[in-house]
Amino acid sequence: MDMLSSKIIQKRDQLLNKFDHLALEELSIKIKELLISETDELSKIAFLAARVTIVNKRLQSILNNQIINDNKADNNFTKPDNIIESIIDNTKIKNPDTPLEWVRVQIKETTEVNGVRFPSGIQIDVTVEDSKKIIESGKAILIDVD
């Protein structure tokens, strides 16, 4: 992997410091605008290096948010060894007179259920049988609905 020269690193850092008051998304847009009008090749490379740094920071931010969301969802997670029994027990307890056919799950990872694609983080109601499949695959968790 090629390393950047000290001049480019210095220009990149100066640029990032100059606009450190901006949010990452705004900073990305600002540097993109500056890059368009720049004519100096060294500065263009420094701008591109700054954009790479910003993209890395934005990705890290997104990954941290997903980890936090996964941790919140995992607080409701039932132990894997008895997940199926837990789903069945929950359905019986909530409506003892009528057998409950639906349970609520939160999708942890984008997945498809019966031909419909669901993004991560969304809560859906599915049949007990479908919930067993996606929970056992690790793509969803059971949500306790009171």
Chain centre distance of CA 14: 31
55 and 90 co-located in one domain: no
Task: Identify whether 128 is part of a domain.
Answer: yes
CA–CA distance, 67 with 107 (Å, rounded to integer): 14
Number of domains observed in the structure of the chain: 2
CA–CA distance, 50 with 146 (Å, rounded to integer): 49
From 51, 72, 93, give the residue that closes a domain: 72
Task: Identify whether 11 is part of a domain.
Answer: yes
> What string of pLDDT tens digits covers the 146 residues of the chain?
457 788 888 988 888 888 888 888 888 888 888 888 888 888 888 888 888 888 888 888 777 665 544 444 444 444 445 555 555 555 554 455 555 578 888 888 888 887 888 888 888 888 888 888 888 888 888 887 65
117 and 99 co-located in one domain: yes
53 and 66 co-located in one domain: yes
CB 124 within 8 A of CB 139: no
15 and 58 co-located in one domain: yes
Q: How far is CA 117 from CA 65, 88, 123, 132, 138, in A?
A: 22, 25, 13, 17, 16
Task: Identify whether 1 is part of a domain.
Answer: no
87 and 101 co-located in one domain: yes
Q: Is 116 helix (H, G, I), strand (E, B) or coil?
A: strand
Domain assignment of residue 12, given as a range: 6-72
Say what angle helices 83-94 and 128-136 make with each other, to 10 degrees. Answer: 150
CB 30 within 8 A of CB 19: yes
Q: Is 140 helix (H, G, I), strand (E, B) or coil?
A: strand
And the tokens for 90? 């929950």
- pTM for the model stands at 0.42
From 16, 38, 72, give the residue that closes a domain: 72
Task: Identify whether 21 is part of a domain.
Answer: yes
48 and 104 co-located in one domain: no
48 and 105 co-located in one domain: no
Task: Identify whether 84 is part of a domain.
Answer: yes
CA–CA distance, 52 with 50 (Å, rounded to integer): 5
From 53, 72, 91, give the residue that closes a domain: 72
61 and 103 co-located in one domain: no
48 and 88 co-located in one domain: no
CB 73 within 8 A of CB 106: yes
